[in-house]
Amino acid sequence: MHLLSGAESNHGGSFGNLLGRSPDAAPQPIFAMQSGPRNTTAPTNGLADEPIHGTTVIAVKYKDGVINVGDRRATGGMAIMYDKAEKVLPLDDFTLMAISGSFSKAMEITRYLRHAFRYYERSQLQPMSLDGKLSELGKVISGNQMAAMQGIGLVIPILSTFDKESSEGRIFFYDGGGARFETAEFGAAGSGSTQIRGVFEYIQRSKGPFRDMDRDTALKEALLLLEIAADLDAATGGAGKVLPLAKTITREGIADVEEETLRTIVRDIIKTEPLLIGPQGY
């Protein structure tokens, strides 16, 4: 796994100093991609033997909360194993986790966290705090380091929530060791995330912060970013065949973006793409 930029960690350190930024500078998003050695001891003579991975997921803030989008492609080696994968998953009524990396391990983590949050609420008669939820996810990822180092269990999640105390949406990242980071505006994970790193900055500088956009404007920018990632990364599925996932989280909780809204925005994005180049190169 590679961290292409850093933000303040919950483990007491700051990447800002290492990157030449002021410690007081606004935290920047981390973009992570799946990499690392394959499990060379596993048989590779069949598609079923390949670990299944999912990419790419994106989270952006908007004026009412956070939007999460993700493509639907899951790959095993060079094969497309599934085109309807769910990569944006609710953990409770106000917490979403978008996943990239090992699909089976991500599902295991999701089931565990759902149970842990529910058990805490029922046993303590109050919901787990945001810091408690973030720490619980960090522990799970830290405990998964051995599988991640073997290249068969790496999971890079994005956790989004609506913080009622500060009345804003918040987005958090983790590295492979369980260190926690918070982004100011946006972020992405998965193999397609590195190719679109600069596009996020371009959108902010040319169209203003994501946090000031309404839902549909921010959604269109996020889906455009996802489509660009699909053009540049073979493991990321485009929107031409299967609609991507899109969920919002606000003060009212988690909601799915209406399918018709998704179709309209995707049609508009695809319609504005240039015509295919002919076999003679023109």
Closest CA to 183 of 1, 60, 24, 13: 60
Question: What CA–CA distances, in Å, run from 180 to 90, 165, 205, 269?
Answer: 19, 20, 26, 34
Residue 267: count other Cβ atoms within 10 Å of its Cβ: 11
Which positions ≥6 away from 225 have C-beta within 8 Å? Answer: 58, 188, 196, 199, 200, 203
Question: What CA–CA distances, in Å, run from 231 to 78, 224, 225, 270?
Answer: 16, 11, 10, 12
Catalytic residue (one of 44, 55, 75, 95): 55
- Cα 257 from Cα 262, distance rounded (Å): 7
- Cα 214 from Cα 65, distance rounded (Å): 10
Examine the residue annotation and report whether 55 is marked as an active-site residue of this protein.
Answer: yes
Q: Which residues are identified as catalytic?
A: 55
